Every structure is written in C-alpha cells, then in structure tokens.
Structure 1
Amino acid sequence: MSVTQSLLLLAGIILASAFFSIAEIALAAARPLKLRQLVDEGNHNAQRVIHVQTAPGHYLTVVQIGMNALAILGGIVGQGFLTPVFTRLLENHLATDQAVAIGFTASFVLTTSLFIVFTDLIPKQVAMAIPERLATLVIGPMQVLNTLFKPLVVFYAWVVSGLIALFNLPRQRDESVTPDDILALTQAGALSGSLAASEQQVIENVFELETRTLPSAMAHRDGILFFLLDDTEEHIRTRIASEPHSHYPVCDGDIDHIVGYVTVKELFQRVLNNQPIAFNDPSLVHKPLVVPDRLTLAEMLRQFRQTGETFALIVNEYSLVVGLITLKDVMSIVMGDLVSPWYEEQIVRRDDHSWLIDGVTAMQDVKRALDIDSTPHEEEYETLAGFLMTMLRRVPKRTDSVTWGGYTFEVVDVDSYRIDQVLVTRAGDGPAAAKLPVDNPVDPRG
C-alpha cells in the first residue's frame, strides 16, 4: 500500500472515529426539554433520540465497538506506514537499531496525538456545544449500524446485562426534574443572556414560596390598622381618609378579639350613597379568613384560591393575632423588583458599603441583597430581627452588633423591644458606618 493510500485510509479511520465520538457525547448531553421542543416543531429524529435515551444500551454498544475497532485499526495503519518513514529519515544520522526505536516511538506519538485531537477533543467539545442538533443528525446512521452489528450487539448486551445485574448497578438515568434543576437552568439562562435577570428572579421567588412562612411577608401586629365595634361614623370616615387600606379588621375591645372585617370599597359605597356606617350591621362586617402563622406562602395562596378571599388574619399557637396578609403581599414577593414603586421598600442602600434595613425584613431578602449564601440556625427565625436575637441570645438594644458573612449588623433604632432599623456595613468599613447619626435614624420607608 502506497503512502498516499495509507494516509487516506488513516484519515478515513480518524473521521469514522470522530463520528462515533460525536454520537456518544451528543446522546449523553442532549437535553430532553430541548428535544421535546424539536419534536413539537416536527423533527422526527428528535423523537428517535428521546426513545434511545430511555434505553441507550444497544446504541452505546455500537459506539464502543466502532471506537475500539477503529482505534486498533488506526494504530496498525499508522504504525505500519509511519514507522518506516521515520526510520528512513533517521538512518542517515543514527544507528539502525536507534533509528528503528525512535521511528517507532515517533509514529506511536503522532498516531496517538492525531486520535486524541481529531477523534476525542474536537468532536466532544463540538458535541457538548450543540448536542441536540448533532444527536438528531447521527441517530439515523447509528440505527443502521445497530441493525448491521445486531448479532454482536446482542451478545455484548447479554454480557453487560448479566454483569450489571451481578453488581446491582443502575441501568437507566433519572429523568425527573427537581426545583433545583429548574433554578440551575434559569440561572444559566440569566448568565447567557437568554433570560432577563428580573425574569430569573421571579422564577426563583415562585419556588421560594414553598419555604417562606407568613411572618416573612405579613404586616405585623403593631402595624395593623383596625376599627372597634363602637367607633363613631365620624372617626371611621377620618381614619379611612387619612390611612386608606383595602381591608380593615373590626374588633371587640382589642385586636385579639376580632369580629370580622370591612372593605374600603363597601365603606366608600355607603359614603357615596349617604348611608350610615355602623359595624353592628351584619351586611357590612364579613367573617375573616384566619390562618396559623406556620403556613408557607404557597399554602396561603392555596387558601386564598379555595376561599375566594384576598385578605387573611394570622394567629399564633396561643390564638393571638400576630399579623395580616393580603394577596397583594404574596404577589409582591413573587414579583420582587418588578413591583410598582408604591411597594414599601425595606432595604435601602445608602452607598456601596452600607444598607439600612427594617428589622422585620425577611432574611431571604436580606441574604439576597447582601449576596450571603447562608446564616446560622436559619430554621429558628424568619426576619432580620430574629437573626439578631438568635445570634445575641437576648433582646438586642441600640448599638448592639453582630458580624457574619463579611458584614456587620448594628442595631440603630429600637422601639419597645422591637428592632426598627439595622445598619449593615461591610466588615472593616468603619467610616461608612459613621456616616449615620444614630440620634437621628433614617426611616427606610421615606
């Protein structure tokens, strides 16, 4: 065989090996979601790839037969014509034995390098970049080869099945998609630019509803505006004009004895129709939805859907009212930074190194704003105030501070044991912290 024929044969072997390498990696890397999209677009080969992925044994057997046979054949061909070429070149300068040894080594290194580069590295990198496209292109020829090598494939499949059963090894990969998988995909989409950062955040917030409990999003007890049964009409009119809300609890004596609630819509209708406003009217006061404070936000959404309500009062294990929540509050958590400007801001960035944060801010929001992965004893608290109490093991007082995750959390305002405001600075940024006069704390809500 001439040198030209040998070179062409070696090139053909390398191309065939590259085909099998692409077929192997493309099948393994092809994403089922992408393949299903191609099926919906009318690509029948994508459906064949999905079918093979569910039971890839015969497919991979053909790949391994082809790759190993071609690698051995390529070594024989390469050594057969390259070793004499190198030997003849070296015989003019070295002894015959040395020329043969070095020529054999050179041909071995060159042949191996050709296979590593052109049948392994390049094909696999390309297949990892566009796996679905290549998988649909090679599936036809691979199924033809599967038919041609069927007797050999069946024999090897029988041997492999026996060994897998003997050693109790897994046969199929788990195709289930977990929330972590979806979040990882959305993060990758945001990094690649195919998904807007705000859209990725909304998706992450939706999954967060399953872990966040009501205290992280509710209006707390001391911020609830309510009416008493015996409030005068003049007082009611003045109150709703100065502090308008969509719902108002109606209580008998104090907030822990709730009778029901009224809506601002019905109150306005009565005002416009010159009708009296009296809470002893059963048609005006509605029975409230009362839920425990251990519910997650996802469970709260289900409660809203089942009852048709958009407002709920939250009680603790002692049946004391601890807060209230509306459907708007839950959706504000989902929408995150996309909510309208009217949404109350609890985290105010003062400069590049410091933040002023309301004590009732959910720790998930604090961690996201500060880019902190985790905090100690996360299961013991919901809010920034709870984090500080857990770390200090007591009720914090003004100027108390905690350092964690590269940040210093300093209490700057306390109101009747309630932590109103916390100044957060990057650890070591003392001058930034000194900018805030503690005698005149800033209201984060403006």
Structure 2
Amino acid sequence: MLDQLLLILLLIAVSAFLSMSEISLAASRKVKLRLLAEGGDAKARQVLALQDSPGNFFTVVQIGLNAVSILGGIVGEQALSPHVEALLRPLYDGPMLGTLSFAVSFVFVTSLFVLFADLMPKRLAMVRPERIAMIVVRPMLLCVWLFAPLVWVFNGLADILFRWLKVPGARAEDITADDIVAMADAGAQTGALLRQEQHLISNVFELDSRIVPSAMTARESIVFLTLSESEESIRRKIAEHPHGKFPVCEAGIDSVIGYVDSKDILPRIVQGQDLSLRTQPIVRKILMLPDTLSLFEALERFRDAKEDFALVINEYALVVGLLSLQDVMNTVMGDLVSPFQEELIVRRDDHSWLIDGVTPIEDVMQALDIEVFEGFENYETVAGFLMYRLRKVPRRTDSVLYAGYKFEVVDIDNYRIDQVLVTREAGPVE
C-alpha cells in the first residue's frame, strides 16, 4: 500500500507540474516577457518562442494530464478500495460493501487530484505567470522533445480538424488602445499607477476620437484685429485680452489674412512706433484647419507647420473657432488650465455643478461619470446636448433629465446657452 500511495503522490506532483505549465504559459504577458528578453533573459526568450508556437506544448500537456488522470484513478482504486472495505466492514457488511468502498476511494483520490494537482497549482500560476513559466520552460521543452512522435500525430489530427471546421489555430496578439487604457485602469486600481497617470494615458488616446470643435475656442469668443484697426483699439485689445497671438482680418472674422504675434507688437508699443497693420509687414501666414480633423491630426498639423495656433473653418470656409496647442495639451492634461482661462466646469457641492455651455461633452462625461450621451455624434458641447434633447432653442429654466442628472439652463446670452446648472437627481433615471 505504501508503494501505491507514493505512486499516487508522484502522479499528483506530475499533474500539478503540467497544470502550472499550462496556465503560466497561457497567462504570461508578452509585453513583460519581451522586456525580460531584451534584458538578456534566455528563459524569457524560450517562453516567447513557445507562445508563438504553442501547439506542441499544449499537446504534451494534454497527453500528460489525461494519462496521469487515468493512471491515478486505476492506482487509487486498487490501492485504497481493499483497505477502505476493511475499515467499513465493522459498520456495514452487506452486498453493497464493495461498491461503497469504491465510491469512498474514488472521492478521496479525486479530491486529492482536484485540490493538489489542479486547483492550487493553477491559482499559483495565475498569480505569478511569467516567473513560473520561466521556471518550467526547460523541463517542458525536454518533454516536447521526448514526446515528439505522439505530438506529431495528435497535432496533425488537430490541424486537419481545425481546417475542416475553419477555426483559427493561432491567437491574435493585436493590442488596441482600449487594451492599453484597460491595463492602465487596472494598474491604477492596484496602486502601480497614480490615478493622475491613468487619466493622462486615457486622455492621450482620446485625442484620436475627439474632433477639433471639442477643444477649440468658439467663433464668438475669438479676439481679432483688422487692417484698419486704430492704434488705440489695438492697444486696448492687447491690454484687455493678453493673448500671445491675434488673427488679422480685412473686415470680419471670415476675411482672415493672417495673424500677428504679441512679441512683434509690444516692442513697437514700448518704442512708440507706428502700429498700423496695413503698412507694417508684421502679419504672418496663419494655419487653417478643417473642423472635421481629430485632435491627434491637429497635433500633427501643428508639428508639420511648426505653429501652435490655427483657425478652424467649416465646409463653407467660414471660421467656426480657434485652436491652439495649449488647447490640445489642456485636453491631455485634464486639470491644466492657463492663468487667463476660466474653468468650464465648477463643482458647487457634492450634488451640483455649474457648467459653461461650450464645455465639450467628453469633459462633462468624465466630470459626471456618465458612460455615454444619447446622440453624441450630433453635437460637441453640453449646449448642443440640451438643444438635441429639447428639440428647440432653449430658454432660461428649460431643463432635461438624463442619467440621473437634471440639466437646467440658467443663463442665455443672445440665444447662446451660457451657463448650465447640473444637479444629481434622486428620481428615476432616463
């Protein structure tokens, strides 16, 4: 009996090794393994090679696990049934004694295999998959070499069946932006990343999904100069609006011809020189961007043109806004606000927010933790959301209930929604 028990323990150990090998290879992250391999770790390179061609490895694992399970059942029944029967005979000596002793032996051996050969090894492998995979990789490569003939037979049959069923035989390893954002979120939950770092990573990938109007300064807020602008007017605008650059137009904003840099104007003011924009060649060529570009594409245009300032036009060549590199970076940094820019979302208390009507709907989603806004493809701002829901030009005190919040118009400036009061509602969610 002792020899048979030792054989059962040996089979459990072999099964545990195979189970750990299987799970650790499947759960090992390629990104982490590549970093180790680039650092000179030969075992990490071997694990990566196995992951690239896992067919032979998993074939050996399945052959071993099935063989061990069958052998363990046979040995366990032969080893324990007679002794269990002897223990049970004083309590019961009827015709079902043999069946009962077999059942007890079966449950006991199965429990040993489930606990020590399957459950515990797999949980251990899930905790440290890369480390365990590098420990078991060389013994498993030896097993793959030893069982090569069986592997060739079973792999060939499996490949034939896969082709017949039109099932892919290899795992796709494409990593998407959503995967990276999910990994960053998991890192923030475990404490490996700061929440600010996780938000920064998420915002970077949002640049490709958010279009220019979501971050630009609206048309009516653009401060511009004209060719016929008087010196007094130029001085007043620069004093009241201390921007770095100003668009220059012939008459209105839609007749833009370029821009002037404050660095070119201020020395003239200090030296008392003429500030006429018509006679002095200080107007530079301005970058124009279509309003259909994503923020990532706009960033590339800034880089190619070596500019940090552009006007945004629509399909009718009308100016709809102004976008600066600072606007794009504010989108990435989230809470970064320039000294001359007011916050668009102001939290009044735990249950209410005051939001500017031009606030991008993506920023509102983050502030209020709303997963998606209905019809979000039809508008860019919270004002657009209200107009979409109300199906009219809103008036003061008009309100919308959505996702457990009440959006109420509190200030309107010439049909433009200036301020929206958002309060968390306790009632039913639309």
Aligned positions of 1:212-227 closer than 5 A = 212-227=210-225
Deviation at 1:164, TM superposition (A): 1.2
Can you list the C-alpha shifts for 1:292-312, whole angstroms capped at 9, x where unaligned? 111111111111111111110
Alignment match of 2:388 (pick from 378, 390, 397): 390
Match of 1:400 among 391, 398, 401: 398
C-alpha separation between the residues in 2 aligned to 1:46 and 1:382?
47
Letter in 2 for 1:251: C
Asked if residue 199 in structure 1 is aligned to residue 197 in structure 2, the reply is: yes
Q: How far, CA to CA, are the matches of 2:145 and 2:426 in structure 1? A: 69
State how many pairs are aligned. 427
Give me the TM-score of the superposition, normalised by structure 1: 0.93
What is aligned with 2:39? 41
* 1:322-346 Cα shifts (integer Å, max 9, x gaps): 1101111111101112556665311
What is the 5 A alignment of 1:277-296?
277-281=275-279, 283-296=281-294
Q: Which amino acid aligns with 2:311?
A: L
Q: Is 1:110 paired with 2:108?
A: yes
The one of 236, 239, 249 aligned to 1:238: 236
- Superposition TM-score, scaled by structure 2 size: 0.96
Closer, same or farther in 2 for the Cα pair 1:214/1:254, shift >3 Å?
same
Structure 2 residue aligned with 1:417: 415
Contact 2:345 2:355 in 1 (8 A): yes
Aligned residue for 2:158, secondary structure, equals: helix
Question: Structure 2: which amino acid aligns with 1:307?
Answer: A
Tell me what 1:373 maps to. Answer: 371
In the alignment, structure 1 residue 274 sits paired with structure 2 residue 272: yes
Shift of 1:282: 5.2
For residues 126 and 140 of structure 1, do their structure 2 counterparts lie closer, same or farther at Cα, with a shift above 3 Å needed? same
Q: What is residue 81 of structure 2 aligned with on the other side?
A: 83
Deviates further, 169-178 or 279-288 = 279-288
Percent of aligned pairs sharing the same letter: 50
> Do the aligned partners of 1:270 and 1:277 also contact (CA within 8 Å) in 2?
yes
| Equivalent in the alignment of 1:31 | 29
Counterpart pick for 2:5 among 4, 7, 11: 7
Residue equivalent to 2:325:
327
Match of 1:53 among 39, 51, 54: 51
Runs of 4+ with >4 A deviation: 338-343
- AA at the equivalent of 1:318: Y
Matching residue's letter, 2:19: S
CA contact (8 A) 1:198 1:338 kept: no
Is structure 2 residue 266 aligned with structure 1 residue 255?
Answer: no
Native 8 Å contact 2:383 2:417 kept in 1: yes
Q: Secondary structure at the match of 1:147?
A: helix
- Residue 64 of structure 2 is matched in structure 1 by 66
Any conservation in 1 of the 2:337–2:343 contact (CA below 8 Å)? no
Task: Determine the C-alpha separation between the residues in 1 that align with 2:375 and 2:306.
Answer: 36
> Which residue of structure 2 aligns with residue 142 of structure 1?
140
Map residues 97-176 of structure 1 onto 2, 5 A cutoff. 97-176=95-174
Q: 1-side partners of 2:125 and 2:21: how far apart?
A: 8
Structure 2's unaligned 5+ residue stretches are: none
SS of the residue 1:270 aligns to: helix
* Distance in 1 of aligned mates of 2:356 and 2:344: 5
For residues 40 and 336 of structure 2, the distance between their equivalents in structure 1, rounded to whole angstroms, comes to: 36
Tell me the distance in 2 between the aligned counterparts of 1:349 and 1:275: 47
CA distance in 1, matches of 2:339, 2:368: 21
Distance in 1 (CA, whole Å) between partners of 2:252 and 2:96 is 103
Distance 1:166 1:35 in 2: 34
SS class of match (1:325): strand
Is the 8 Å Cα contact of residues 198 and 337 (structure 1) preserved in structure 2?
Answer: no
Question: For 1:210-245, what per-residue CA distance to the aligned partner results, in whole angstroms no more than 9, with x for missing partners?
Answer: 111111111111111111211222221232122210
2:17 corresponding residue in structure 1: 19
Offset at residue 271 of structure 1 (A): 2.3
C-alpha distance in structure 2 between counterparts of 1:96 and 1:243, whole Å: 101
